[in-house]
Structure formats: structure tokens, C-alpha cells
Structure 1
Amino acid sequence: MLVSSGVYREAVTVRRPGVVLRGADRGGTVVDGEFRRANGITVTGAGSVVENLTVRNHLANGVLFTGVTDERLQGAGAGGGQGYDPLDTVRFPPLKGFRASYVTAYNNALYGIYAFDARGGLIEHSYASGHSDSGIYVGQCDPCDTVVRDNVLEHNAIGIEVTNASRNLYFLANTARRNRVGVTVNSDSLEALGPQHGAVLAGNTITDNNDDHSPEQADGGFGIAIGIGGGTRNRIERNRIENHRVAALVLQDVQGYPVQDNTIRDNTIKNSTALVLSAARTGGNCLTGNTPTPTSPHPLPPATTSCPGHDIPLPAPGTTTPVKTPPGLSFKHITPPPPQQQMPHPQTTPARPATDLPGPVDPSHYRLPAPTTH
């Protein structure tokens, strides 16, 4: 379905399988919520695609891919988390097959591109800014069988957010810059499918996440590149992490979930306090080959400096130099982004439903990104 340029002041729902919803012009085909409607585009049809268009000004989400078919649950949380009931995984089996390509999402109240209770997906070449929660969110899937690659996230409370999303989940060659927090990987006891485990973050550029002209996030995080809250068995490899006021990495136990068995290797860290480890034990977390060698408020125990790590008690958690969290702006007032790259040949490229995704994935092909320029 090729949609002509224009501003469409309506909500769109894709229920049929295999639909390819494509804008004729990425910046000119716009779904506008007018700060009145919850979601811009809601996709519950298996194997469907949203590409080459813009979604803006919604009270919840820009684009939502979900197996939750009850419209009453498709607003703020799509059926899980704080303030709503946990996902019923029997009633709502995951959406199978989805793709977002060349999508611009901005100034939506919660999430720009939101994959919840969905698997077999790809989010690529997209841009998200001005969200009070996160630009891209992947939640409640196990296995996820999903790749998030080559996206740009800026001026959000959080660039990329991962909650109770596990296995065969890859975040590759993304740029998370000038958010309040770059990336979070979390377990949540209020949602289904915890604890989170087995995601890979490789070849990403995560810089300058100290933006005080972004929406304020409810938990108050600021100045952090990557936070792992109760996440397990994740791999953080070959990422460039620069210019954070609080920390490059924060690992902490949350809601009864220990942060454990995470491997952090071969990352380059610049102008950032390297590590805050707030847990009762090391939990087998290990950090090796990073430049410079990570430090924390206390010297790291030897068990954390080679992989695999070992589970030993830690000294009392240290503290970082306090950083005053600046007040944020309303998501409605974030400056709209400049034009983004068009999908090649949108008028003539054959439609390609989201089947057999994400295809073969080899994170080792994603090397350390080049230094950023300012």
C-alpha cells in the first residue's frame, strides 16, 4: 500500500497479515496525532511492514507492533508494566514477523517505535526523537528473534530501551546520542517473561547522553550511556562510549533480579566515569579488553576483569559524584528533526512483507565505530 504525501490526522490499524504500508515520501507522508490520539500506527497483522513515513504528536506511541489485539490495552503500555496488568501470554501470543524501515518518529509521549509481544522482527534505518520514555523499545519477547540496526536516537529520555526481551535479540550499529540515557536493558517484576537475558549490543555509537533539552523520564536517569538493571547473560561488545557525566556503564540489581553473567568486552570509553556496579555480588559479570580499563568507585575485584567472571561478594556499593538532574521539557516542545534519508526508490521498489526475519545475524561483523566528531 503506497500512501501519497500529505498529513493524515487519523489513527491507523493494520490487522491483516503481510501488509506493507509505505509512504511515498518519508518526510511528506505524515501520520499526525495532534496530541489527541494514543497511537499513530498499530500493527497486529503478522508479517506486516511500516516504512518510509513519519509519525508524530501522539499521546502514547508512534508505531506499535504487538500481539495484543485488545484495543483497550494498546495505549500506554500495550498490556504490561506499571499501571496496567501484566501481559497474558496465553491470550495474546506474540505477533510473528514485523519490520520498520526508514521511519521517522518524533514528539510522541512514550515510545517512537515500540515492539511489544512481537518476534521475528527488524527495525532499521529509522530515527526517533522527543519521546518521554524511549525512541525504540523492545519488550516482552522470548525468544525475540529481532534485530535493531542502523537507527539514530536523540533527544529522548532513553534512546533504546529493552525490558524482559530475551534471546536472539541484537542491537547493531545504532547511534544513541544526546538523550538523557543512551540504552537501558532491564528486568521488571511487574511485567511478564522476566528476567531479561541474552541480548547483544555490538558496534553502536553511544555518546553525549546528557541532554537537558529532552523530555524528563520518570525514573530520573541522566548522563548514563548503558544501564543494565537486573539483566542477565548480555553481551556488550565493540561499542564506542563517549562523554557521559555520570557513567558509561551502570550495572545494578533491581526488583529482586540480580544483574549477573553479563560480558562487557572490547569497548572504547572516553570522557566518562567507567563503571558503577551496584549489586550484592559480582554475579559473574566480567569486563575485559575495554579501553581504558573500567574502574568504579572502589577497585574492581579480580573476578570481574576476565571472562567468564566469578560470583563473589562485593564491597559496599560506592557512590559517584552527584550530578544534578536538570528538568526536562515537555515532549510537545522538542524541536522537530531535520529531513532524514529516504528509502531508495519508494515508488518502484517491490513490496516485501516481513517474513523469515531477521535472517542470519553475525555480530562479529560489527566492528568498533570510528571516533565521533564535534
Structure 2
Amino acid sequence: MVLVSSGVYQESVAVRRPGVTLRGADRSRTVIDGEFKRANGITVTGKASVVENLTVRNHLANGVLFTGVTDERLQGSGAGGAGYDPLDTAEFPPLKGFRASYVTAYNNALYGIYAFDARSGVIEHSYASGQSDSGIYVGQCDPCDTVVRNNTLEHNAIGVEVTNASRDLYFLGNVMRRNRVGMTVNSNNLEALGPQHEAVVVGNTITDNNDDRSPEQAEGGYGIGVGVGGGTRNRFERNRVEGHRVAAFVLSDVQGYPVKANHVTGNAIGRRDTALVLEARRTGGNCFAGNGASPTSPAPLPRAAASCPGQDKPLTAPGRTRPVDVPPGISFKEVTAPAPQPGMPTGTTSQGRPAYRLPGPVDLDGYRLPSSVRD
């Protein structure tokens, strides 16, 4: 274990050896500061390594990057690959074993906590705000064997982003609020391992993602709870999704990837929200059931998509998102710094726990429908 004293460290950190625990003595006062000069705060390529109980801020790419990409020239692009060119997964096999716990990431130009070409990991009890792209990003893994749980994401362009990340991938009990978009689940032909498939999103609070004091999202997304672009066979259950100007869920075909066989069931959607927009030529076997009586587009929703499992039928006309005035974003450098976040309960007294044999058992029944923030 490397225990880092409180202080502001104006440097980048590379963790290349396996089984390292990098821990701050104080979550809010042990700070890796990029000064808006350096790309990544902490880059982890050593398997089963851990970053916990510290803050990363003010980087031109990522706060924390977990990746199997060992070529530092590619890491400097901030994307984990060569400027989003598809990565050679044979040349760079995935990092196996990683964990981020009690990390605060803010005001970074791309991602707060980024797992790319990495598997068998956990991201938990962390906070991210002010990222120009997303607070937490999981990309290019199949299977991922990863759990993202009990994190808070706010004032980012996107709270949580998932691209070409598939199978044994769980998002549980997170709070995604006051971003421009709460969550995106995408297939992308600029990265390897498409199409995205079989993520599980349960028990999350996804509310009021209409923030005008956040960085503008590159694709212009705004006012959306969950966007699924070309994703396949994902499950969205027992999430509270409310307070969105455009829609709670938007399912779209993108880049030649049809959106197919996604199950959206048993979620609580705000009465004033458009519950679902299906921007596709076919129902694609997607299904939407048990989510309340909020309106959909198309309306009424075809019977083929209104119960689970869904059926693949042509749509007379695709759904359309409601037009809204999208406010301009602000620079990621200008987003207000967050308040101090709770540190690790054990502080500096516990031994390091390398990230072997993660993520461990996943208990979906332990994540119930969150109560309404409006109650």
C-alpha cells in the first residue's frame, strides 16, 4: 500500500505494478491537481490495483484511468486508444482487476473515472462533477465483470457513459442528478467490441438532468434520463427516472446499430416526463412495461413493445423527442468545486485490499426502487 499524505500534488501518477493500493490520507485534502496542463491524473495499468480516498481534478483528459493500454502515447490521447481509433485488443489485452473507492473527480476535460479495456473491477462510493464528457465511463470490455455502485454524479455533461461495454456489467444504486444527460448506453463503430449488449441497470436515482451550469455535451444531448444508442439486450429495472425536459428514456438506432431487445420494466417515471421515445424503424424486440402511465412517443406504444418480452415489428413512424431550448454549457474549468465528500470509514488504519477476485457476488435483490426525491 502507498499511503499519500494530505497535500496538493501537481504531478501525474502511473501505477504499473500489480496489486498496488494507492490511498490518500484524507479524501478531500489528498489532491492530484493537473493544473489544466496534464492529461491524466492517475493512470493504472498494473492488474488488481486500487485507487481510493483521494481527489483528482483539473486534468485535460481523465481524473483516473484504468486500462490495458500500456503505450503511453495512446494514453495521452485521453481515450485509452489512438484518438478513438478501434483498439487492437490482441496487442493490448484488458487490464484484469481494478477498484476505485471513495474517489472525488472534478473539473476534468473528458472523464472523471474511466475504465477502458479493463475488466473484473469495481467503482464505488465515488463522486464526479464538472467533466466535459462523463463522470464515470466504462468502455470496450466483453465480458466486463464490473460493478459500478453507490456513486454520485452531478454537473457533468453525462453522469455515466457506457460504450461497447458488455456482459456481467452492473450499475447499482447510483445517483445521477443535475447533469445534462443522466446515463448513456451506446454502441460505437469507432471503438472495438461493438455492439454493446447485456448491461444491468438497477436501483438507481436518475433525476433532473437538465443542468445549464454544466459543460455542453459534444453531441448536444440535454434533458434526458437514459439514452440507449444501438444497445442490445440491456435491463433497466427499479430505477427512479424523473424530472427530465425531453424524456426519461430515449432508445435510438445509431451508426448502423439497431437498438434491440432492451427491457425497461418496473421503473418509476415522473408523471410529467415523457416516459419513452423510441427513435427507430422497428420495435426491435424492445419492451416497456410496468413503468406507470406517462406518455410515450410514438403514442400509443405499439403492442409489440408494451409488454415483455417484446416483439420485433415495423413502426409506422419512429418516435420523436420534444423540442426544447438547449442552454449553452459552460467550460469544465468553471464548474463550481464540490463540497468535501465522506472519506473511507476505516481511514488510514486498514490494510490495503488489492483488486483480486472482483467484483464478487452481485445481489440485485438488495437494490430496491429508490424513494422519490420529491416525496
State how far apart, in whole Å, the 2-side matches of 1:101 and 1:291 are: 35
Q: Distance in 2 between matches of 1:348 and 1:357?
A: 22
1:190 CA displacement: 1.2
Amino acid aligned to 2:95 = L
Is the 8 Å Cα contact of residues 287 and 294 (structure 1) preserved in structure 2? no
The one-character-per-residue Cα deviations of 1:321-365 (angstroms, maximum 9, x if unpaired) are 310111100000000000101101222111100010000112232
Q: What's the secondary structure of 2:243's corresponding residue? A: strand
1:258 deviates by: 0.4
Check if 1:284 corresponds to 2:258: no
Q: For 2:370, what is the secondary structure of its paired residue?
A: coil
Unaligned 5+ segments in structure 1 are: none
Where does residue 19 of structure 1 map in the other structure?
A: 20
Match of 1:128, SS state, is strand
Deviations 1:104-146 (A, max 9, x none): 0000000000000000000000000000000000000000000
Aligned length: 372
Aligned to 1:78: 80
Matched residues in 2 for 1:329 and 1:8: separation? 26
Distance between the aligned counterparts of 1:106 and 1:54, measured in 2?
Answer: 8
Match of 1:59 in 2: 60
Task: Give the letter for the 2:202 counterpart.
Answer: A
- Preserved contact between residue 297 and residue 320 of structure 1 (Cα < 8 Å): no
- 1:297 deviates by 3.8
Q: How many angstroms does 1:373 deviate by?
A: 4.0
Q: Indicate conservation of the 8 Å contact 1:26/1:53, yes or no.
A: yes
Corresponding position of 1:186 = 186
Q: Which runs of 5+ in 2 are unaligned?
A: none
Partner Cα distance (1:27, 1:234) in 2: 36
Kindly state the Cα deviation for residue 280 of structure 1 after the two structures are TM-superposed.
1.1
Match of 1:96 in 2: 96
Query: Where does 1:97-136 land on structure 2 (aligned, <5 Å)?
Result: 97-136=97-136
**Residue in 2 that maps onto 1:316:** 317
Distance 1:11 1:242 in 2: 39
How far does residue 216 in structure 1 lie from its aligned partner after superposition? 0.5
Superposition deviation, residue 291 in structure 1: 1.8
Moved over 3 A (4+): none
Give TM-score, length-normalised by structure 1.
Answer: 0.98
Percent sequence identity over aligned pairs: 74
* Alignment partners' CA distance in 1, 2:348 and 2:80: 33
Aligned to 1:8: 9
1:167 match: 167
What are the Cα deviations for residues 47-101 of structure 1, in whole angstroms up to 9, with x where unaligned? 0000000000000000000000000111321106xx4421110000000000000
- Work out the CA distance in 2 between the residues paired with 1:77 and 1:124: 22
What secondary structure, in the 3-state scheme, does the structure 2 residue paired with 1:39 have? coil
Distance 1:87 1:287 in 2: 35
Q: Deviations over 1:10-29 (max 9, x none)?
A: 00000000000000000000
RMSD (Å), alpha carbons: 1.0
SS state of the match for residue 86, structure 1? Answer: coil
- 2:328 aligned partner: 327
